[in-house]
Each structure stands twice: as structure tokens, then as C-alpha cells.
Structure 1
Amino acid sequence: MNKKTKIAVIGAGISGLYIAWKLADNGHDVTVFEKRNEIGKEVCSGLFSERILKFIPESSKLIENQINYCLVYFPRKTLKIKFSKKFFVMDHSMLDNLVLDLVKKAGAVINLNHPVGIDDVRKVALGFNRIIGADGALSQVRKALNCKEPNFYLGIQGFTNENNTHDFVEVWPTKTGFLWKIPRGKKVEYGIMEKREKAKKIFDQFLQKNNIKPKITKAALIPQGLSTSSDAKFALCGDAAGLTKPWSGGGVIWSLAAADLIEKFPQSSKISKRVEIKIFTKNHSW
């Protein structure tokens, strides 16, 4: 977007905040609408490749632990997978708030406690040149545009208060997903990604079998299946676009790469092909 443009960003997760920061920093008139009264994603493992530092250099101060390899437990064997890149464990909520500060410094307007429902999307659009839907897995912008709905998995995570700075994560494959263990320095995270109807039962059985008693347990939907807008005034980004990796459910790096593309191309019809080319080739790995 070369000329100064009036842009609404619906949703203040990491995708919405990042694109708002970049657009405002480039001189655009940006307003962010967020339904909650505070910023910070509550359900996310926050395991990112070192690419996160390229997009958000300031995030280096949020690193809780470094991960170099993964142990995958199968019934008859264990695989050790060494990563070609460094991985960092970060607090996703703190990352969101770090980018929020960058958004404010860039001059964007943040409207908290301002939900935009399916019936409000077109009304909000009247006051802006471009609308970016970054309002999560159950995106109201996506629904208002009648875009394809993604498939949904369920992610559940629990935390135990134990010090663990091991440099590896552990994974247990399930029939259509996986369980995981991530050392986070001052605590340990256990989680599962599975079909919605199976996830809780499998996770509970895993915890009971291994005598794991998490102090806090949270859950969220994980969308899968890219959804793009055919309306040139609108674009979808992040979970709203179903932009998550099919093998892990993560999507922050992909979302940030897509956000950079949105900043460069004002028409969503031009973005979607670039997303397919860039996201699914250059940024395909963890």
C-alpha cells in the first residue's frame, strides 16, 4: 500500500497487532478493534523458530528456553529429530503485549471492548478503505464474507510448576494428532492437538497414566485449511484465514509472513497466490 490508507484491523492477536504495527509504521491510518478488555493470547505453546527474531527483533528478551531437538515416542521405537534452526520458548501473551507497545508507538488507535460481530462487519467497513480480518479461529469477518470455513481441531494445554530447562521437546503421536511436553524453564507444559471429540479423553488418559497433575488447563480451537477473501476491500490473516501448519497446528511465523504480504498488496485477490507461493515454500518448516 503506497498511498496513505484508512485501515481497520479486526482482532488484536499477534497477527492483527503485527500487521497494524507495520501498516501504521508505514504511515497508514490504522484502527484496531478488539472484543476483549485486555491483550494477550491465553492458549498457545509459544514455541517459535528463530525466524521470530527476524519479524520481531525485540522478542529476544522474552526467550524462556532454547530447544534444539525433539524426541518422538512410537510404541516400538523413539526418534530423535535434530532441528536445523534454533527454537525458542516464549510467553505468547507477553509477545502480544510487546507488539502492542510497538503498535501504539507507531500511532495506531486501539479500541478494546469493541466486538465486531457478523452483522457489524459491513457497517465498520463503511468508514475504512481496507478491512483486515484477524479475529481468530471463529472469525466473524470470514463468516460475513461467506468465505470457506476451515476444519477445526482442539488444542488443550496444561502446566505443572517444575523447573525444567532441557533443550528438547517430547511428542507422542495419536491417531489424528499428537501429545507434547515442552520445558519452559520455570514450568512444564503438556498438551494435545486432536479432533475435537477425542482430544479431552485422550489428554486426560495421558495425564492419569503418567501421574501428571497440571495446575492450569486451557483449550482453544485450531483452524486448518486456507480461506481467502474474494472481496478486494477485505483480507484475512492468521487463524481467521485458517493459516496454520497441518502437522503441528502452529501458525505464528506463517501469519507474520502473510501479514507482510498484506502490507505490500492492497487487493486480497493479489495476496492469496503470493501467500501460497511464499508461505508454503519459504516458510514451510517449523
Structure 2
Amino acid sequence: MLEIETLLKSYFSNNMMYDYVIVGGGVAGLYLTTKLRNKQVLLIEEHKNLGPRRCSGLISDRINKFFDLPKSIIEKEIYKAQLCCGEASAQINLNSVVLDKEKFETYLLRQAEKNVEVKSERVVKVSDDYHGVVVTTSQGVYRTKYVIGCDGANSLVRKTFLDEDPKKFFFGKFCYSNEKPSDEYKVFFDSKYSDLFAWTAPRRNKVEYGMICEKNLTNNYDTFMRAKNPKDVSEDYFGVIPTGLCKCSFPKGILVGNSAGMTKPLTGGGVIYSLIAGKIAARELNKDEPDFRNYEKKCVETFGKEISRQLLARRIYSKLSDHRKQKLISSVKRDRLSIDMDFPMADIFKDKKMRILKSFFGR
């Protein structure tokens, strides 16, 4: 028996049974760590200096409900966006900020380190056993009662415990140009650029050029960049965006953020949904006996319906000609809309915004 016990101790990197191991140190994982109380928690993130830059930093000002962010993290405040397709254009009102994503995640990491143990290791395997979950990394093996998958589009936790993926996968690519920024965010819906949209976005001392699409990313991106001809550009950044909420709970844990497709099908943004899900998750995880199915239920109730509506709108949008898009933009121009960036479909169903829906559906 003593030999078996010695072998087990040498097999595991320490003799601790964690309450939770969080796989992935992006926004979802980092924020969740700050909300957990009186639990033994290990956060494992592959990249020592956080993950690669995979998304733009344009986020609604709803983020202020979650953080009192230092001014150094906020590159710019944006209050309007110009929607464009061919010769048609319309301005909508936004309440948004552009974050320095690296500084933002570093800020979250510092908060996380005050509350949980953090290790920079690559997770290579996750498996369950009679006592809980075994997480194997490039440097060790850890035991936990439950595992939390915050490990993004290609989630190992999701692949291990759930036979379901998010409904769709989009692809994004962007770069920075060292030119003087304006105060306006421009969105281009021309089909020659993307089957979703392309954009130019002001940042602190530069302009961001990018696009998100479902197909032909490389060709579309090259077409867009040739048309806009930005000067003195940085390297390109690339990301995969899963969308369409999939099952996000299982007996040994949950998924939070991109790993469960918690993003907006119309824009690809997911930071706010990740934060909302993190707050919902923390309420369950802080209990002595967490109910993971209740976590999933609350996520579906809070933003699942919005995601479903956006998926439907996305399917309809994909069939629109540029001419129809221009008519839609003209309708927007007449109504001078203000849009909730995080819940646009719920917002657009209200009051006079129903006219936009009629135009969108071709009536």
C-alpha cells in the first residue's frame, strides 16, 4: 500500500485536490477567478504573457458595470458608427469603448493572482475518474473536483466532456495602420469584402482595419486592404470565433465564454457575454453543492434567446443582395437609431425600430 501511495504522489504534481481547475486564461477564465470565494482554485493558461491577440477591442460601455477600469486601458470612447454599403451610408449611435486588450487581460491577471493559483502550462489532456477530474499539462498532473472550460474555440474541455460544438465558426483578421484616427467607427457590408462585414476603427494613436467572415477570409481580406490602402501597417492578427450557444454544462463542470459559443452571431463579439456568464457561474461555484444545469439554464435565459435571434438574422442577412442591404441602411438613416451593442435584436424589436425589421425581412 505504501508503494502505491508513493507512486500516486509522484504521479500528481502535488497532493492537493482542487475544488476547481480553470482551463484558459482569457477574459472568461480570468474574470471568473476574481469572483470565487473560499475555494481552492487553479487557473492554467498556456501562454505566460497571456494569449495571442485574436480580437479587436471594441466593447460596449456595459463593461463599466463589471469594472472600474484604469484610464490607461481605455484607448478611445466611440459614440457613433457609420454603416456603409456601396454609395449608401447611415450613422447610428453607440455607447462603446476601445480597450487595449493586452493591458485589459494583464489587469485581470493581476486581480486573479490575488485570489487563485496561476500556472503557465499547456493542458494536453482532461479526463474524469471516480474522485473527480484529472488535468494533465506539459509539466504536471492535477486533480480537481470539477473543471471549468474557458479554453476558447478549440476547447479541449468541450471535446472531452460534450459531444456538441457551437453552431457556427467565423474567422476574423485585422491589422493596425499608423495613421491619425478619427472618432468614427466604419462598418462595410459590401459583399465584395465579406459575407459578414469589414471595418475601420479608431484607436489611441492608430487605425484598425479588419473583417469577420464565414468563407474566403484570405481573398476577402486582401480585396478590402487593397481598396482601403492603409499605410505603414502592422502584422496581421487572426482569430476563430465560435458562435451559437451549445450545451455548456456536464456532471464534472461547465464551459464559459468562447468555448461554448457565447458570442454575438451578428458581430462576433463575446466579452460582455463572457462576463455575464462568469458572474452567473460564480453564483453556482461558490455554493457547497453547485448546480451546473442551473448555470446553463440561467445563461440561456439571459442571452441565449438573443443569440438565437441573431443566428436567424444572420441566416437572412446572408441571402441579402447589396441592393437590399442598401435599402436597409436607408431605413436606418431615416430612423437615426441608437443600438444596444450586446442585445441588438431585443433592442430592435422595440417601438419604431420595427420598421427596420420590415426592411430587413424585405417587406
Query: Would you call these one fold, judging by a TM-score over 0.5?
Result: yes
Are 1:80 and 2:91 matched, yes or no? yes
Aligned residues of 2:176 and 2:207 also touching (Cα < 8 A): yes
Unpaired runs of 5+ residues, structure 1, are: none
Are 1:181 and 2:200 matched, yes or no? yes
Which deviations, in whole Å up to 9, do the C-alpha atoms of 1:36-66 show, x marking residues without a partner?
A: 2221441211111111122121344411111
**Higher alpha-carbon Rg:** 2
Structure 2 equivalent of residue 99 of structure 1: 108
When residues 191 and 233 of structure 1 are mapped into structure 2, their CA distance, relative to the original with a 3 A threshold, is: same
After superposition, residues 180-259 of structure 1 pair within 5 angstroms as 180-195=199-214, 197-213=215-231, 214-259=233-278
Cα distance in structure 2, aligned partners of 1:230 and 1:262:
10
After superposition, residues 270-285 of structure 1 pair within 5 angstroms as 270-280=294-304, 284-285=343-344
Cα distance in structure 1, aligned partners of 2:85 and 2:148:
42
Shift of 1:167: 2.4
Give the residue type in structure 2 aligned to 1:167. Answer: D
Which of 118, 125, 134 pairs up with 1:110?
118
Cα distance in structure 1, aligned partners of 2:163 and 2:201:
35
After superposition, residues 260-271 of structure 1 pair within 5 angstroms as 260-265=279-284, 266-271=290-295
Which deviations, in whole Å up to 9, do the C-alpha atoms of 1:171-219 show, x marking residues without a partner?
A: 0014421001110021110100001x41111111111122224222110
Cα distance in structure 2, aligned partners of 1:229 and 1:171:
32
Cα distance in structure 1, aligned partners of 2:277 and 2:190:
30
- Matched position secondary structure for 2:185: strand
Cα distance in structure 1, aligned partners of 2:281 and 2:293:
10
Moved more, 275-284 or 35-44: 275-284
Give the residue type in structure 2 aligned to 1:131. Answer: V
Moved more, 166-175 or 118-127: 118-127
Normalized against structure 1, the TM-score is what?
Answer: 0.89
Cα distance in structure 2, aligned partners of 1:174 and 1:136:
29
Shift of 1:29: 1.4
Larger helix proportion of the pair: 2
Aligned residues of 2:85 and 2:190 also touching (Cα < 8 A): no
Aligned residues of 1:41 and 1:92 also touching (Cα < 8 A): no
Structure 2 equivalent of residue 143 of structure 1: 159
Shift of 1:116: 1.6
When residues 50 and 252 of structure 1 are mapped into structure 2, their CA distance, relative to the original with a 3 A threshold, is: same
Normalized against structure 2, the TM-score is what?
Answer: 0.71
Structure 1 equivalent of residue 358 of structure 2: none
- Matched position secondary structure for 2:92: strand
Give the residue type in structure 2 aligned to 1:198. Answer: N
Cα distance in structure 2, aligned partners of 1:127 and 1:119:
10
Structure 1 equivalent of residue 180 of structure 2: 163
Are 1:152 and 2:169 matched, yes or no? yes
Structure 1 equivalent of residue 28 of structure 2: 15
Unpaired runs of 5+ residues, structure 2, are: 1-17, 137-141, 285-289, 307-339, 348-363
Percent identity among equivalent residues?
A: 30
Which deviations, in whole Å up to 9, do the C-alpha atoms of 1:202-253 show, x marking residues without a partner?
A: 1111111222242221101011111224423210011111110011000000
Give the residue type in structure 2 aligned to 1:205. Answer: T
Aligned residues of 2:86 and 2:190 also touching (Cα < 8 A): no
Aligned length: 274
